[in-house]
Amino acid sequence: MADSRLTYKPLTVEARLRLETMLARRWGRKHGDEALRQLVPWSGWRICTEKEFVETVGYLSRQGRARRVREAADELPAMRMLPGYRAPDAVTRYRVAFGIEPASAIIQPEHRMLSPFHVVAIIRRGAPMAQLVCRHVGGMWLQSVDVLRQQLVASREALGEILDELDEPPEPPSWGQSAGGINVHAFTF
């Protein structure tokens, strides 16, 4: 069975909207928007799941958690310079295989995962808010708002096309195609 952490699962519009709603409901629009803005530069990176978060962060002392969050915060600038995950194309694989490009040209999914401590350091609002983020978008690779907006527009256009097809009335049979018999326009009793 494949490791679920290595399966590329991009952030969906529905998950992003659900996260926005829950952050605004719990911490207010101002703090929720700030948390979402903190996540914007991390497009292409995987957020840990809530289970991973609880297993890692939940049972540490405050001092131990604070130390690990400081260490993760120190790592963030170097990590931010790395490009986000994207599926490798065949040309890049051939270039790496023949030694034209280094092996680091192929970005592996396991190299673009944010640990629970990185999530806490990015959010900067404590473990409860970071856990809520992990609950709603955990296990997904973050995507920029522009990509999500394009997906939303495309899905709405597709839905509009389907609805337009349903709204078209069926064509009435022409008089020449009747099954036979006398054409009657009205009955009078």
> What is the domain partition of the chain in residue ranges?
10-164
Quick one: pLDDT band at residue 63, thresholds 50, 70, 90?
very high
| DSSP state, residue 104 | G
- 134 phi and psi, to 5 degrees? -65, -35
Q: Which residues contact 76 (CB under 8 A, 6 or more apart)?
A: 118, 121, 122
Q: Collapsing DSSP states into helix, strand and coil, what is residue 112?
A: coil
What does pTM read for this prediction?
A: 0.73
Q: Which residues contact 82 (CB under 8 A, 6 or more apart)?
A: 111, 112
Based on the number of CB atoms within 10 Å of its own CB, is 122 exposed (0-12), middle (13-18) or buried (19 or more)?
buried
Tens-digit pLDDT profile for residues 166-175:
777 666 656 5
Tens-digit pLDDT profile for residues 21-43:
999 999 999 999 999 999 999 98
Q: What is the CA radius of gyration of the chain?
A: 26
